[in-house]
Amino acid sequence: MASEPALARDKTSSVDFGPMLYVAAALVLLGGVIFAYLQYSSKQSAEKLALTPEAKGYVQNLQLSDVEMKATDSYLSQRVIEIQGKIGNAGARPLEVVEIYCIFRDVYGQTILRARVPIVGGRTGGLKPGETKSFRLPFDEIPGSWNQVMPQLVIAGVKFS
């Protein structure tokens, strides 16, 4: 009789690790794939939107106009600063993406926020030669030390079609 409890104890203590091992391996593999994709996509976006010498020469053909700034309150009683305007392409090349830096400064002229945002591309589509498109840039997290003056807008990246 002493041997029966020992056999029962041996049967209950054995655990099948097969399914758990497969799940763990699948999770590690999935994590690796996600990490590799994020690394790849960040390199691709940085390479595509660099301001190459060719793009620097073309910037003179891009014209910002009717740029204005306004403040509104959101539904959560949060102040949202919006910069609206138009960008025109006076050159001969179609553009897929244009990004700008919005540089916010404090009362001493020090940069307190430098945001890189697209004004052409994505949902709005590209910008053909001779075409003008409107843009709207909302900012809801500007530091309190901002001098309340229109930020400096500088072309940061251009991708030709």
pLDDT, tens digit (0-9, with 9 covering 90-100), for 79-119: 899 999 999 999 999 999 999 999 999 999 999 999 999 99
Annotate the chain with three-state secondary structure.
CCHHHHHHHHHHHCCCCHHHHHHHHHHHHHHHHHHHHHHHHHHHHHHHCCCCHHHHHHHHHEEEEEEEEEEEECCCCCEEEEEEEEEEECCCCCEEEEEEEEEEEECCCCEEEEEEEEEECHHHCCECCCCEEEEEEEECCCCCCECCCCCEEEEEEEEEC
Q: How far out from the chain centre does Cα 26 lie?
A: 29
Question: Which CATH number is 53-160 given?
Answer: 2.60.40
Query: What residues are paired with 83 via a beta bridge?
Result: 69, 137
pLDDT, tens digit (0-9, with 9 covering 90-100), for 120-155: 998 888 999 999 999 999 998 899 999 999 999 999
Q: How far out from the chain centre does Cα 144 lie?
A: 23
- Is the pLDDT at 8 greater than 70, yes or no? no
- As to burial, measured by CB atoms within 10 angstroms (0-12 exposed, 13-18 middle, 19+ buried), residue 81 is buried
pLDDT band at residue 157 under the 50/70/90 scheme: very high
| pLDDT given at position 96 | 93
pLDDT, tens digit (0-9, with 9 covering 90-100), for 34-80: 777 666 655 544 445 778 899 999 999 999 999 999 988 877 778 89
Q: Does the model's pTM come out above 0.85? A: no
d(CA 160, CA 98): 9
